[in-house]
Chains A and B, each alone.
Chain A
Amino acid sequence: MSGQPSGRDSRHRWQSLIPLLALLALAASVPVFGGKYYVDLAAKVMILAIFALSLELLVGQTGLVSFGHAAFFGIGAYAAALLSPQSGPASIWLLLPAALAAAGLYALAVGALSLRTRGVYFIMVTLAFAQMAYYVFHDTQLGGGSDGVYLYFRPQVDLAGVRLLDLDRPHVFYLFVLAALVLTFALLATMQRSRFGRALAGIRVNETRMRAAGFATFPYKLAAFVVAAMLAGLAGFLNALKDGYVNPEILSWHQSGAVLLMVILGGIGSLRGAVLGAVAFVGLQELYQSQALFGALARHWQLPLGLTIIALVALMPKGLIGLPAQMRARR
């Protein structure tokens, strides 16, 4: 859609919002109907959805395939855990910006170097820089090494002495995560339609042509990289709050691979796809780990997961979101 939407276009846009609103209502109702396990699972899915959305900005919008995105997730999480004092809760107005800033600063440094490379080099370089962050947290005593570090008190959301939200209550925290997801989605959707987003799309399609048109593409790519990192840091921040515990494995390249998988599983180029991919990925993990279905074989859940990944990537290159179109093209 470009230019001024016609009457039919804007009605179509409202119509496409309906499934989103239905999903939102469904998500908001989980704490009411579901037990603790499902509330926790749904929160995990939503946090991963934010993570996947952040990568979608890089991969789907800008065409930058990063295999090191877990580093920013981990930095956000570690910032939340390390900057929270052990004696009492911190203020969210300090903690959240600090976590975002930490992720953003690392992205600024890493991006300035990595974005000098293209294609395969970029993939490998982002992977290597994520490993660097992993080793910093794993080998040094900065974050308690491989044992990880605990977050004892969720931050307080106070304004002028008045408690706005009590994040220690599970239902409140759940809705807080849901709100973060909605805001992230809305932010990225707005960004897509903005001049900045259009420039990113142009860079994805043909960077040389953008440069010929007079755009300095490097600052745009770096800005996208930093914003994506900060959103990943937000996801990591929420994850640290949810679990109360952070360990270096959340920075591992397996995590980077998993989030990349979520994006491609859902369908590149679609924000809804990223959310759907997160849901599908967690769903697959839960499925294959279910002892009720697989019994003793559930221990080796990575085998069917690996085979499924191969099959899905091979058979559904457009992801789940593109499945209706793929089926229509078949007929």
Chain B
Amino acid sequence: MDLATFLIQCLNAVQYGLLLFLVASGLTLIFGIMGVINLAHGSFYMIGAYMAYALAPWVGTTLGGGFFTTLAIGLALSIVLGYLLEWGFFSFLYEREHLQQVLMTYGLILVFEELRSILVGNDVHGVAVPDWLAGSVPLGDVMTYPTYRLFISGVCIAVVFGLYIVLARTRLGMMIRAGASNREMVQAMGVNITFLYRVVFASGVALAVLAGMIAAPVSSVYPNMGGQVLIVSFVVVVIGGIGSVGGALLASLLVGLVDTFGKVFFPEAAGVLVYLLMAAILLWKPEGLFRQT
């Protein structure tokens, strides 16, 4: 494998890993802070992708906007969706056992999938890359790399920094980190836990939707995309340690590397490699790399 190909695969791995991080960070925070296993988290990713597909024409004709307008509207909608979902459904899950949470969110997946089927149908769709991002960046003499994929990685890195600043440098972030390590104590110290939960949940939803929206041009929009990203996100959360955003970042990149290079070197076993990675890490650290709770 020559240097240019290796570089391309590395960039692909990082891009995939960072996208995974967007989804997994929400999952790990929701579980770490609220103690809720949310199986429907993959559905938010799917909703984001379908929103990118469905909103783009409407935004183009009615509002005259482009890609970023679609993104902004999608994010705003997702925050509203997250807020309403938390208020109307997830707030009832906090006191329940994990098994009940698993099954109720599993029911939610079915509901989301069928609603999507009713509203948008079951077809596979493509989403166009905006023109100004549609080119390629040269790598060395012969190879090029799509600009849009670099854009995806760029957005994700911006999100990583944003998350870091919020979590490490703001009061809200402090409460979130405290809630992740000891929920009851935070409540006992008088923090408005309802508001905190709603913010965390809406943020998790928004992150997953954002990931779906920016990934749509690259991965296309198809019915089972939510389920696929959900399972891999679980692997990331297990490897990284529940509640740990830093762990989720490291684990996402690891999974991205293993998956991408696995597809190159062992195409038939590619689907299995990520789980072997998880098994290896669990042998070493049964509660993930950076356990929090």
Contact surface of A with B, Cβ cutoff 8 Å:
59, 65, 67, 113-114, 116-117, 119-121, 123-125, 127-129, 131-132, 135-136, 138-140, 253, 257, 260-261, 264, 268, 300, 302-303, 305-310, 313-314, 317
Contact = CB atoms under 8 A, between A and B. Distances in A.
Contacts of B235: 124, 128
Chain A facing B: main interface SS: helix
Interface in B182-234: 227, 231, 234
B107 interface: yes
A310 B114 CA distance: 15
A303 B118 contact: yes
16 contacts: A117-B286, A124-B238, A128-B234, A128-B235, A139-B271, A139-B272, A260-B102, A264-B99, A302-B111, A303-B110, A305-B110, A307-B107, A307-B111, A309-B104, A309-B106, A317-B100
Nearest to B40: A306
B234 A313 contact: no
B239 to A, nearest CB: 10
Interface stretch (B47-55, B57-65, B144-152, B276-284): B276-284
B164 interface: no
Contacts of A317: 96, 100
B108 A306 contact: yes
A297 B158 CA distance: 44
B109 interface: yes
A303 B106 contact: no
B231 A131 contact: yes
A257 B103 contact: yes
Nearest to B39: A257
Given A113-B282, A117-B286, A306-B108, A125 B238 contact: yes
A281 to B, nearest CB: 12
Nearest to A297: B118
A260 B37 contact: no
B26 to A, nearest CB: 15
Nearest to A119: B98
B109 to A, nearest CB: 7
B282 A65 contact: no
Given A121-B242, A129-B275, A306 B102 contact: no
B138 to A, nearest CB: 34
Contact of B279 (A65, A113, A139): A113
